[in-house]
Chain A
Amino acid sequence: MFLTTLTDLSRLQFALTAMFHWIFVPLTIGLGFIIAIMETYYVRSGKDFWKRTVKFWMNVFAVNFAIGIATGIILEFQFGTNWSNYAWFVGDIFGAPLAIEGIIAFFMESTFFAIMFFGWNKVSKNAHLTSTWLVALGTAISAYWILVANAWMQYPAGMEFNPDTARNEMVNFWAVATSPVAVNKFLHTILNAFVLGAVVVVGISAWYLKKKREEEFSRKSIKIAAIFGLVSILLLIYTGDGSAYHVAQKQPMKLAAMEGLYDGQNGTQLVAIGILNNKKFKALRDNDSLGFELEKPYVFQISVPKALSLLGYRDVNAFVPGINDIIKGGYKYKDSTGNYVTAQSLEEKILSGRIAINALASYNKAKNAGDEDGASASKKDLQENFKNFGYGYLKESKDIVPNVPLVFYSFRIMVLLGGYFLLFFILTLWLEQKEKIGRCKWYQNLAIISIPLVYICSQAGWIVAEVGRQPWTIQDLLPVQASVSGVSSSAVLTTVILFFVLFSVLLTAEISILLKVIKKGPASN
């Protein structure tokens, strides 16, 4: 019970910090690129209008950057204190990308950020424009290395476990840095940031139109942001398809939770809209096997036939394993070498994981006692079973299943809002083309309401990615309960409360300063 509480509190603290951090990051990235595009217009046209426009959006960028800066460092504090087992276990694999990110973020962003803000009239127009683009690129490169680290946890590659140090050691930097999961995750996330930045620009500009202020500024900002947003959302949908494919191959339990799929089949349908039968999930959590058998997975659903098989396996008749299949094993799937193998049951994986954990203990004991033969035999057992190391910490079926309703509904919120933003950008460009955007009140209200919606969409995506991979901090190798340190749960609770207060104050400051900047408007520049 103690461990459960500590694990839950540590997860709550990490989730709270990460979600707060993610309020600022996507706007910094998305707005950075939109500002760079606008400044390119300024340099090419030489019109002061564009300079004034760029300066206004730079003020919005600056407020967001200032309030959000360094909030991600709190996550790194938590690694050392609450997650020290995990931090040690991942070793340099996590350290290297984070170090590169830190160096790039510090030197590239801070150097060119200063020129971007202080350099007007002090450096040439082209030098200033280059700095603005480098700040934007710097934010994207920083994001890449963070996402490499995150992707490695979802799909560990390019490493070997060293039982002498109890650390994973990087043996192939490029396998880590360019893993297909990392590349797709980066593209999907960065495009999400572009869409968020575009919606914020359109929403704020629509507010000016509603107030009958700054019409030229608003319409031109809307046009640039909507084109940028439309291209981004189309690519975002494409990379979303790539994400689903990788999840199906590498994290089948996450895919099953996203779909509320308990029993797999060939040619599996994709639930477009649905309501889950929560009694089924509750029966699983309560170990009520009879209730679990009897309950149906959905109360209501509208599905697209065979679409999940097509999305996940590029084959309309492919078998998609459900939660029960993953627990029971026995189905065929294609492994990383491209060969078809039979899936192990959870019971077999737990047994294999326990052999690996015991082998690590006996290896360490034998090595300390100078028993080379014993150490060698234990090391062999550990290597043979290491792929299931994390399963050794699990006890029963429910331990391997994430929170299905939370993942299922978050996924649908993300997808539905993604579809909405595609239509929103098309509508925006159509109204702008027809010169109706300045008079269309309902559209202006819709654009303003879209600002919170895009944040909900973005956070929902991360909930799918991170809740969906539970119980793993590192897929198959380390679950959350083995990752936490032996700190007191009351200490974690104290910091959770402190963070909540600190984050609320910072968010209030951000919103109030932003509102002042927006009310003043570009005329103040």
Chain B
Amino acid sequence: MTIVLKRIWLFYYEGFRSMTLGKTLWVIILIKLFIMFFILKVFFFRDELRVYDNEQEKQQHIIHELTLEKR
């Protein structure tokens, strides 16, 4: 088991080490994921229903929204 895990680790380790173009791409991927998950998701895309404590309250909110007169 340990040998298998070590081989998998070495497979990825050596793969990443030998990358040339891939390093630039990984930098882009990491910056992009940071912007998406730690800036956009945290500050701009919070779940609208998070303010409700349970499913019942969420259901009531949605039913209220769907049956609003102004819609």
Interface residues of A (CB under 8 A from B): 3, 59, 62-63, 66-67, 69-70, 73-74, 77-78, 80-81, 84-85, 88-89, 114, 117-119, 122, 164-166, 357-358, 360-361, 364, 393, 481-482, 485-487, 491, 494-495, 498, 502, 506, 509, 513, 517
Q: How far is the CA of A501 from the CA of B71 in the complex (A)?
A: 33
A491 CB to nearest chain B CB (Å)? 7
B52 CB to nearest chain A CB (Å)? 11
Q: Can you list 27 A-B pairs, Cβ within 8 angstroms, ordered by A?
A: A3-B70, A59-B21, A62-B21, A62-B22, A62-B25, A67-B32, A70-B29, A70-B32, A74-B36, A80-B47, A80-B48, A84-B48, A88-B49, A88-B58, A89-B62, A165-B55, A165-B59, A166-B59, A166-B62, A358-B67, A360-B63, A360-B66, A361-B63, A364-B67, A491-B44, A513-B21, A517-B21
B29 CB to nearest chain A CB (Å)? 5
Give A389's nearest chain B residue, CB to CB: B66
User: Given A70-B33, A117-B15, A482-B66, is A393 in contact with B45 using a C-beta cutoff of 8 Å?
Assistant: no
Q: Which of B24, B40, B41, B63 has the most C-beta atoms of chain A within 10 angstroms of its own C-beta?
A: B63
- Establish whether residues B62 and A88, one from each chain, have CB atoms under 8 Å apart when the complex forms: yes
B46 at interface by CB-CB < 8 Å: yes
Give B17's nearest chain A residue, CB to CB: A118
Extra pairs beyond A482-B66, A506-B28 (10, CB < 8 Å):
A67-B32, A80-B46, A80-B49, A84-B48, A85-B66, A118-B18, A166-B62, A357-B66, A513-B24, A513-B25
Q: How far is the CA of A77 from the CA of B43 in the complex (A)?
A: 12
A-B contact count (CB 8 A): 106
Give A80's nearest chain B residue, CB to CB: B47
A20 CB to nearest chain B CB (Å)? 12
Q: How far is the CA of A59 from the CA of B35 in the complex (A)?
A: 25
From A67, A73, A88, give the contact of B36 (CB < 8 A): A73
- Establish whether residues B40 and A77, one from each chain, have CB atoms under 8 Å apart when the complex forms: yes
Q: Which 5 pairs across A and B sit closest by C-beta, in order of nearness?
A: A118-B15, A66-B25, A77-B45, A361-B67, A84-B48
CB-CB < 8 A to B40: which residues of A? 74, 77, 495, 498
Interface residues of B (CB under 8 A from A): 11-12, 14-16, 18, 21-22, 24-26, 28-29, 32-33, 35-36, 40-41, 44-49, 55, 58-60, 62-63, 65-67, 70-71
- Establish whether residues A357 and B67, one from each chain, have CB atoms under 8 Å apart when the complex forms: yes
- Establish whether residues B22 and A114, one from each chain, have CB atoms under 8 Å apart when the complex forms: no
User: Given A73-B36, A80-B47, A88-B62, is A393 in contact with B21 using a C-beta cutoff of 8 Å?
Assistant: no
User: Given A59-B21, A62-B25, A73-B36, is A85 in contact with B15 using a C-beta cutoff of 8 Å?
Assistant: no
B55 CB to nearest chain A CB (Å)? 8
- The secondary-structure label for the interface of chain B is helix
CB-CB < 8 A to B14: which residues of A? 118
Q: How far is the CA of A253 from the CA of B29 in the complex (A)?
A: 41
Q: How far is the CA of A70 from the CA of B47 in the complex (A)?
A: 19
Give B46's nearest chain A residue, CB to CB: A81
- Establish whether residues B15 and A114, one from each chain, have CB atoms under 8 Å apart when the complex forms: yes
CB-CB < 8 A to B55: which residues of A? 165
- Establish whether residues A69 and B29, one from each chain, have CB atoms under 8 Å apart when the complex forms: yes
Q: How far is the CA of A77 from the CA of B41 in the complex (A)?
A: 7
Q: How far is the CA of A59 from the CA of B25 in the complex (A)?
A: 11
Q: How far is the CA of A3 from the CA of B66 in the complex (A)?
A: 14
- Establish whether residues A63 and B25, one from each chain, have CB atoms under 8 Å apart when the complex forms: yes
From A3, A119, A487, A502, give the contact of B35 (CB < 8 A): A502
Q: How far is the CA of A114 from the CA of B16 in the complex (A)?
A: 10
A17 CB to nearest chain B CB (Å)? 11
CB-CB < 8 A to A59: which residues of B? 21
Give A364's nearest chain B residue, CB to CB: B63
Q: Which of A81, A89, A482, A485 has the most C-beta atoms of chain B within 10 angstroms of its own C-beta?
A: A81
Give B13's nearest chain A residue, CB to CB: A118
CB-CB < 8 A to B26: which residues of A? 66
CB-CB < 8 A to A67: which residues of B? 25, 28, 32
Give B24's nearest chain A residue, CB to CB: A513
Q: Which of A63, A69, A74, A77 has the most C-beta atoms of chain B within 10 angstroms of its own C-beta?
A: A77
